[in-house]
A and B are shown apart, each in its own frame.
Chain A
Amino acid sequence: MSYAFDFSGFGVYAGMLARGTAVTLGLTAVSTVLGGLVGIGGASVAVAGPRWARTLIAAYVELIRNTPFIVQLFFVFFGLPSLGIHIDEVQAAILAMTVNLGAYAIEIVRAGIESISRGQVQAAQALGLHGRQVFRYVVLPQALANVFPSLLSQVLIVMLGSAVVSQISVPDLTYAANFIQSRNFRSFESYVIITVTYLVLSIVLRQLLNWLARGLFAGRMPHRPDEPRGWRLLLAWRGARTITTER
């Protein structure tokens, strides 16, 4: 078995691949911020909200976590127009990715909040902080630090899962590969290129967010002298798992 790779016809498509990479990253960035906010807001309601709101959140989480992402995407893109709501394919992709990430993030953040011991809350109350301050300054930062690795994994899953938005003609990385192989018939090469691109994106994004977390959750992480530094950081696949909270 041998296959003669031929990347010669790909030069003209470099711009398209670059744009596709930018679209994939952009979609991921926007839906991560929005989905994260949905997660934090939803989780705070899920642990402390009124009963009807809790039921609503639970229904949303169950609905999204028990249906395939591509079906949610098709529902938004092909389904909503028949209800009179017209949004273009990029908005549809962001909405579907946000709604999807939001549901998982709610569960993750809720677990983080529940991991904070009652002692922390009682100590904060003893210091005179009222309800919202306790949540904002004591519970939430520790909760997020605890579950950060899970959130990070979920963000990466959403980024990789965003490959299916090419199905509704969003010009992302996968769309670029599909387009190129429909024109030059080098399908193996096309998919090799985007496989490597997705891999690099994942590794870089993971390291970037880990690095961000180190600043964000400083003081909540123990000092680790044997932590990899410099280029070794790139190979520290499980780096995020080492973040723990000092209590």
Chain B
Amino acid sequence: MTTPDSSALRAGRAQRILATLATTLAFTGVVALSAFAAPAAHADALDSIARSGVVRIGVFEDYPPFGSIGPDMKPEGYDIDMANLIGKTLNAKVELVQVTGDNRMAYLADHKADMLLSVGETPEREKVIDFSQPYAPYYLAVFGPKSVAVRNAGDLAGKTISVARGTLEDLSVTKIAPPSATIKRFDDPNGAISAFLSGQVQLMVVGNDVGATILARHPANDPEQKFALFSSPDHVGLNKNEPRLKQKIDETIARARKDGTLNAIAVKWLRAPLPADL
């Protein structure tokens, strides 16, 4: 039996690794250079949108009811309606760019998308992108049957509430619930929702997006939204230093709120009117 010369093999591998490293370094250099050059090329995305007549908007396609693929294989949802609204005011054709939570900031920074939808405001993101006014509510809420009267945290006394353990839902309701409330924690959101739908608990805490999907199925216990716990509304995410585009988007949102268009979108997709404090 012949054994391959292992030292030669090792040398070959080392060479390959070096080559890969060199290529990566060179590539990084090019990317870094073009990043410096970028601001000059894209003074304000509003100009390039006006020139091309196309606005590229990054949306999720696996995040119902904000963005998902409908039965006709076309994207649909709150964000898709919002994107069309933006396209109309910018007088441009909408090109939806499918993004994921991991890659979307890169899409925006590389100008593969002019803006992103469904962006929650966080201090980390604040450093790299700009935010429009909020256009969609995102919050955690207590859901329960119409027959159970609950209007605020104090009303949770003596009630049973299901949550998924360790989530933001769990932490926020644990903080506000009176001691006599029983919080039942399940391994995942599905367990918490099943417990609520089968009547094993009186109330549940989920996001308004999940709640809307459940309400859309009209469960037997006739649930409704009781009150909101934690709010982190969605904004349009934009590259920094694009004040004219940002202003245009803010105007679009303000107008849509005033004439009721945005409220209609909220009722259509979230099954609840826009909260007054959005």
List residues of A whose CB falls within 8 A of some B CB. Answer: 77-79, 81-82, 86, 88-89, 166-169, 175, 178-179, 182-183
For the complex with contacts A167-B186, A169-B185, 6 further pairs of A-B residues with Cβ separation under 8 Å are A78-B194, A81-B198, A178-B185, A178-B187, A182-B166, A182-B185
Q: Say how far A143's CB is from chain B's closest CB, in angstroms.
A: 40
Residue total for B at the interface (Cβ-Cβ under 8 A): 14
Contact call B195/A78, Cβ cutoff below 8 A: yes
30 contacts between A and B (CB under 8 A): A77-B195, A77-B200, A78-B194, A78-B195, A78-B198, A78-B200, A79-B198, A81-B198, A82-B198, A86-B200, A88-B200, A89-B184, A89-B200, A167-B187, A167-B191, A168-B191, A168-B195, A168-B200, A169-B162, A169-B185, A169-B186, A169-B191, A169-B195, A175-B185, A178-B165, A178-B185, A178-B187, A179-B165, A179-B185, A182-B185
* Residue of B whose beta carbon sits closest to that of A92: B200
Binding site secondary structure of chain A: helix
- Complex alpha-carbon distance, A77 and B162, angstroms: 14
Q: Quick check: is B154 within 8 A (CB to CB) of the other chain?
A: no
Binding site secondary structure of chain B: mixed
Q: Say how far B175's CB is from chain A's closest CB, in angstroms.
A: 12
- Complex alpha-carbon distance, A182 and B199, angstroms: 26
Q: Quick check: is B61 within 8 A (CB to CB) of the other chain?
A: no
Q: Which residues in window 1-33 of B have CB below 8 A to A?
A: none
Q: Which residues in window 152-170 of B have CB below 8 A to A?
A: 162, 165-166, 170
The 4 A-B residue pairs whose C-beta atoms are closest, nearest first, are A182-B166, A169-B184, A81-B198, A81-B199
Contact call A86/B195, Cβ cutoff below 8 A: no
Name the contact of A182 in the complex, choosing from B165, B194, B198, B200 (C-beta under 8 A).
B165
- Complex alpha-carbon distance, A67 and B169, angstroms: 33
